[in-house]
Amino acid sequence: LEMNRLENPIVSYFKRCPISWEAHRELNKANDLISQGDKLLPEVKASPLPVRHVQQQELRAPLPGMEDSYKKVLNFIKDNSARSAFFGVWGMGGVGKTTLINLVSDSRSKYHDDFAKVLFVQAVKGFTTVADLQKAIAISIAIPQIGNQISQAHIIHNHLRDKSFLLLVDDLWEDLDLDEVGIPSLDAAQPHRRKVVFTTRSMYVCSKMGCCCPEDTIQMKCLSKQDAWNLFTQKVGSKIFDDEEIHELAEEVSTT
């Protein structure tokens, strides 16, 4: 019995020995291949292409088909005799409402002297709560953010109560009580100039927000075929249309 205990490890060792030597040889082969690859790598490794920094194009002028809407919004903002403090831009998704209100925001040089504060916030479906709008406004005018909705409303109100301001709100999906947000009174009797411009997909939201007259709203529609073509050529350039076949295909694509 004692001899069997001594023999078993010895037998086991000699059985495993060839396997160990084979593994050692294969490992050496692998290391040789890795070494050869490291020598070849500098020859085949391509230099990385330089990173191209593309600056975002500023909105300098209204896009084709947007000129009339842009002028109407600016006229409302600059008109001291406007009956309503609210102006609604409504229309189906994708017709350019966000582009328009961004353009209005970027055109502050045309009216910034008329307001002490210009606030631009974006509401998103499912997030158009009072608290979310308060947070966006707090960021816009650089005031403290706190978790309590009532206290936040007091902070916003105290910051704006003796100021004129323009509030731009993009993509409202439902009407909001601006008193709960903390926005001071927009009543014409108060001495400060205060206005609100918002975009929405619903004419109903316009009426609920206080835009009860046709003069207080504008509906944005899909571009006409000519405006769509003008926008297309403005974006891609006209030189690519030297080929007649490309020109015909481009017209079909842009107006479909």
Give me the residue spans of the domains in the chain: 1-42, 67-219, 225-249
CA 144 to centroid of chain Cα atoms? 24
Q: Tokens 């002297």 sit at which residue?
A: 113
- Picking from 183, 182, 89, 173, the residue whose alpha carbon sits closest to that of residue 128 is 173
pTM: 0.66
pLDDT greater than 90 at residue 110 = no
**Segment among 125-129, 130-134, 135-139, 168-172 with least mean pLDDT:** 125-129
Q: 13 Cβ partners below 8 Å, 6+ apart?
A: none
Mean pLDDT of 15-33: 74
Alpha carbons 98 and 168: distance in angstroms, whole number = 11
| Cα–Cα distances in angstroms (integers) from residue 55 to residues 58, 105, 149, 215, in the given order | 9, 19, 38, 38
pLDDT greater than 80 at residue 203 = yes
pLDDT grade for 38, boundaries at 50, 70 and 90:
low
Report CA torsion sign: 26, 27, 28, 32: positive
Q: In percent, how much of the chain has pLDDT > 70? A: 70
- Specify the pLDDT at position 14: 58
Beta bridge partners of 196: 86, 167
CATH architecture for segment(s) 67-219: 3-Layer(aba) Sandwich (3.40)
Sequence letter at residue 183: I
SS3 49: coil
Question: Rounded to a whole number, what is the distance in angstroms from the first to the last CA of the chain?
Answer: 93
